[in-house]
Amino acid sequence: MNNYNGNLQKIGLQQLLLAYVERFNENFPVFVLQNMEETEMIVLIKNCLDHGKPYVVDFDNDPGIDY
Protein backbone atom coordinates (compact mmCIF):
# COMPACT_ATOMS: atom_id res chain seq x y z
CA MET A 1 0.00 0.00 0.00
CA ASN A 2 1.47 3.34 -0.96
CA ASN A 3 1.56 6.33 1.37
CA TYR A 4 -1.42 8.05 -0.31
CA ASN A 5 -3.70 5.03 0.23
CA GLY A 6 -2.38 4.48 3.73
CA ASN A 7 -3.34 8.03 4.71
CA LEU A 8 -6.90 7.48 3.45
CA GLN A 9 -7.45 4.84 6.14
CA LYS A 10 -7.24 7.46 8.89
CA ILE A 11 -9.39 10.33 7.63
CA GLY A 12 -13.11 11.09 7.75
CA LEU A 13 -15.72 12.10 5.23
CA GLN A 14 -14.85 15.81 5.02
CA GLN A 15 -11.19 15.08 4.40
CA LEU A 16 -12.08 12.44 1.81
CA LEU A 17 -14.34 14.91 0.00
CA LEU A 18 -11.46 17.39 -0.15
CA ALA A 19 -9.08 14.68 -1.37
CA TYR A 20 -11.62 13.71 -4.04
CA VAL A 21 -11.78 17.30 -5.33
CA GLU A 22 -8.00 17.59 -5.34
CA ARG A 23 -7.62 14.29 -7.19
CA PHE A 24 -10.40 14.60 -9.80
CA ASN A 25 -10.96 18.38 -9.97
CA GLU A 26 -14.70 17.88 -9.37
CA ASN A 27 -16.94 17.38 -6.37
CA PHE A 28 -18.15 13.96 -5.28
CA PRO A 29 -21.93 13.81 -6.01
CA VAL A 30 -23.08 13.92 -2.38
CA PHE A 31 -26.39 15.54 -3.36
CA VAL A 32 -27.35 12.51 -5.44
CA LEU A 33 -26.43 10.04 -2.68
CA GLN A 34 -27.92 11.99 0.23
CA ASN A 35 -29.87 8.97 1.55
CA MET A 36 -26.72 6.84 1.73
CA GLU A 37 -25.13 6.17 5.12
CA GLU A 38 -21.93 8.11 5.77
CA THR A 39 -19.91 4.92 6.13
CA GLU A 40 -21.11 3.71 2.72
CA MET A 41 -20.18 7.04 1.16
CA ILE A 42 -16.72 6.85 2.76
CA VAL A 43 -16.20 3.42 1.20
CA LEU A 44 -17.26 4.72 -2.23
CA ILE A 45 -14.94 7.72 -2.05
CA LYS A 46 -12.01 5.63 -0.83
CA ASN A 47 -12.62 3.18 -3.67
CA CYS A 48 -12.56 6.03 -6.21
CA LEU A 49 -9.35 7.44 -4.77
CA ASP A 50 -7.70 4.02 -4.47
CA HIS A 51 -8.46 3.15 -8.10
CA GLY A 52 -7.94 6.64 -9.55
CA LYS A 53 -11.42 6.75 -11.11
CA PRO A 54 -14.13 9.30 -10.28
CA TYR A 55 -17.57 8.08 -9.24
CA VAL A 56 -20.01 7.70 -12.12
CA VAL A 57 -23.65 8.21 -11.21
CA ASP A 58 -25.86 5.37 -12.47
CA PHE A 59 -29.34 6.83 -12.18
CA ASP A 60 -31.01 3.61 -13.33
CA ASN A 61 -29.33 1.04 -11.08
CA ASP A 62 -27.87 2.73 -7.99
CA PRO A 63 -30.14 2.10 -4.95
CA GLY A 64 -28.48 4.92 -2.98
CA ILE A 65 -29.66 7.61 -5.39
CA ASP A 66 -32.49 9.90 -4.36
CA TYR A 67 -33.92 12.06 -7.13
Q: Is 60 part of a structural domain of the chain?
A: no
Question: Cα–Cα distances in Å, from 38 out to 3, 6, 34, 44?
Answer: 24, 20, 9, 10
pLDDT band per the 50, 70, 90 thresholds, residue 2: very low
Q: Give a yes or no: residue 62 inside a domain.
A: no
CA pair distance 27, 61, nearest whole angstrom: 21
Domain-embedded: residue 63: no
Q: Is the pLDDT of residue 66 over 90?
A: no
Phi-psi region of 51 (alpha: psi -120 to 50; beta: other; left: phi over 0): alpha
> Is residue 49 a contact partner of residue 19, using CB atoms and an 8 Å limit?
yes
Segments forming the whole domain that contains residue 8: 3-51
Q: Could you give the number of structural domains in the chain?
A: 1
Q: What is the pLDDT of residues 5-52, one digit of tens each?
A: 555 555 799 999 999 999 999 999 998 888 888 899 999 999 999 999
